[in-house]
């Protein structure tokens, strides 16, 4: 029964499609007769275009950043390059994450023992490079280590940032 209904529907569509494909007669449209009016032609001066020069402008991207690159990706790439060139494990962590274990004086200079976040301890002296931002240890005294880093502010200028690592943190 379903086959018969399907065949009837298909044949109906075929006949309907064939009927619609016949060409229709075009009805001729008659145009109304137009009035012929003669107008006097005014003398129009001929237009002569002025010659102009084509200046070719060349784009020089030197000294400019690519506007289609993400600024975030560029800064990540710079940080990755800095991390790759760093051999010292003290330069892989932020200075604020360091913990001072002890400070020793040998008669000439101070030495400080610093614990990194990964649990490794290192001995540092004045003038060593530590931290992500190439900070230098500028002073080691009896109870603190002072590290100076140059960090870029919101204006893009490098400003010094001193971080003081105390031997014993005072209770507040």
Please give the model's pTM, rounded to 2 decimal places: 0.51
Sketch out the chain's domains with CATH numbers: 71-166 (2.30.30.830)
Pairwise CA distance, residues 86 & 90, whole Å: 9
- A 10 A CB-CB count for 101 gives 13
Residue with tokens 């993400």: 70
Residue 130: how many CB atoms within 10 A of its CB? 27
Q: Which two tokens stand for residue 97?
A: 């994450």
**C-alpha–C-alpha distance, residues 59 and 56, integer Å:** 10
Q: What radius of gyration, in Å, describes the C-alpha atoms of the chain?
A: 43
- Checking if the pLDDT of 21 tops 90, the result is no
Confidence band, pLDDT 50/70/90 cuts, at residue 22? low
Kindly state the helix (H) or strand (E) to which residue 7 belongs, with its residue range. Answer: helix 2-20
User: Residue 170: which pLDDT band, with cuts at 50, 70 and 90?
Assistant: low
Closest CA to 103 of 86, 133, 119, 126: 126
Q: How far apart are the first and last CA of the chain?
A: 92
Question: Could you give the angle at the alpha carbon of 52 between the alpha carbons of 49 and 56, nearest 5°?
Answer: 150
Quote the pLDDT of residue 37.
Answer: 66
Average pLDDT over residues 126-140: 92
Are the CB atoms for 106 and 73 separated by under 8 Å? Answer: no
């Amino acid at each position: 029964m379903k086959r018969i209904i399907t065949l009837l529907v298909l044949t109906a569509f075929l006949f309907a499609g064939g009927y619609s494909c016949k060409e229709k007669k075009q009805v001729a449209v008659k145009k109304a007769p137009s009035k012929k009016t003669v107008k006097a032609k005014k003398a129009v001066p001929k237009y002569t275009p002025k010659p102009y020069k084509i200046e070719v402008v060349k784009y020089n991207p030197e000294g400019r950043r690519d506007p289609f690159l993400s600024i975030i990706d560029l800064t990540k790439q710079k940080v990755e390059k800095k991390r790759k060139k760093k051999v010292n494990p003290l330069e892989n962590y932020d200075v604020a994450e360091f913990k001072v274990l002890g400070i020793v004086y040998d008669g000439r200079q101070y030495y400080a023992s610093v614990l990194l976040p990964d649990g490794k301890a290192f001995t540092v002296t004045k003038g060593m490079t530590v931290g992500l931002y190439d900070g230098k240890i500028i002073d080691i005294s009896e109870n603190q280590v002072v590290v100076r880093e140059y960090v870029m502010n919101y204006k893009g200028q490098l400003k010094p940032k001193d971080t003081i690592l105390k031997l014993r943190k005072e209770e507040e």
